[in-house]
Amino acid sequence: MKAGINFIGLGVGAVIVDPQGRLFLAKRGKKAKNERGYWEFPGGSVEFGETLAEGLKREMREEYGIEIAVGKLLDVVDHILPREGQHWVSPTYVCKVVRGEPRIIEPNKCTEIGWFALDEIPDPLSVISRENLQNYRSTLLVNSAIPSTKTASMKHFLVHIQYKVPVEQLGDTVRLHREFLQMGYNRGWLLMSGPRNPKTDGIIVARAPSHEELASFFEDDPYKVMGLADHEFTEFDPVKFQPFLTDWVTGLE
């Protein structure tokens, strides 16, 4: 039993956009499942137990050696190929590269790759990629679909909470402080927090549009309001991080 032939297959695709607005395309090789010799927005099959985003990220690592951030859903297309007897359903997402330079890892499946301006898209395009391209152009007319305009504006910080009293004297303010921090987690600004060992102060990994906005947020921390602690903010650039943190670091969630 083969997906796409004996039953409808599930694929997932990526319209990958670079900072200049160019689109990444790949030319299908002789070992591709279908439409050999056609250019396409890359993608692949989703494996059992994977989410769509996980499957897409895996395919980009395996076939092109890149880590991507998966952005907005562009469309969901029936990829029906009567002459080849195949039927796939494929959601396609607008994405961007967050690590690595694309290269061909599986030359039997892909013979060429490249970045192309919207008015320089190569021919022929695969059936689904033609529809993706049309939908992407339509989306640009309404609202840019390039993932995360937040990315450039989000800054990252270590927040050092400097206790003014021994931790034993913080009392019920600890509970109020943690309830306050939850607002930061709900906003998507905080990644993790906790006391230093030994418990002489606290540390938070955070992000925000600016130092000023983060400092303003922490003005309402019960520790600050009650004069029990001060806050020190150290901005840093997260150059390396675990892949599962990609969406948070790049501002996609």
Which stretches of the chain drop beneath a pLDDT of 50?
4, 144-152
Pairing of strands 190-195, 201-208: antiparallel
Say what the pLDDT of residue 109 is: 87
Say what the pLDDT of residue 147 is: 47
**Per-residue model confidence as pLDDT tens digits over 53-70:** 999 999 999 999 999 999
Say what the pLDDT of residue 96 is: 92
Residue pointed to by tokens 């997402």:
93
User: Which contiguous run of DSSP H or E holds residue 217?
Assistant: helix 211-218
**According to CATH, where is 3.90.79.10 located in the chain?**
9-142
Cβ atoms within 10 Å of 83's Cβ, excluding its own:
6
- Domain at 9-142, CATH from 1.20.210.10, 3.90.79.10, 3.30.70.1050, 3.40.50.740: 3.90.79.10
Say what the pLDDT of residue 191 is: 95
Describe the strand order of the beta sheet including 39-40 as a list of residue ranges.
39-40, 23-28, 110-116
**According to CATH, where is 3.30.70.1060 located in the chain?**
150-250
Say what the pLDDT of residue 9 is: 78
Q: What are phi and psi of 232, to 5 degrees?
A: -120, 130
Please provide the DSSP assignment of 117-174 as one string. Answer: -GGG--SPBPHHHHHHHHHHHHHHHHS--SS-THHHH-EEEEEEEEESS-GGG-TTHH
Say what the pLDDT of residue 152 is: 43
d(CA 129, CA 211): 42
User: Which contiguous run of DSSP H or E holds residue 24?
Assistant: strand 23-28
Do residues 70 and 51 lie in contact, with contact meaning Cβ atoms separated by under 8 Å? no
CATH topology for the 150-250 domain: Alpha-Beta Plaits (3.30.70)
Say what the pLDDT of residue 175 is: 93
Three-state secondary structure call for residue 235: strand
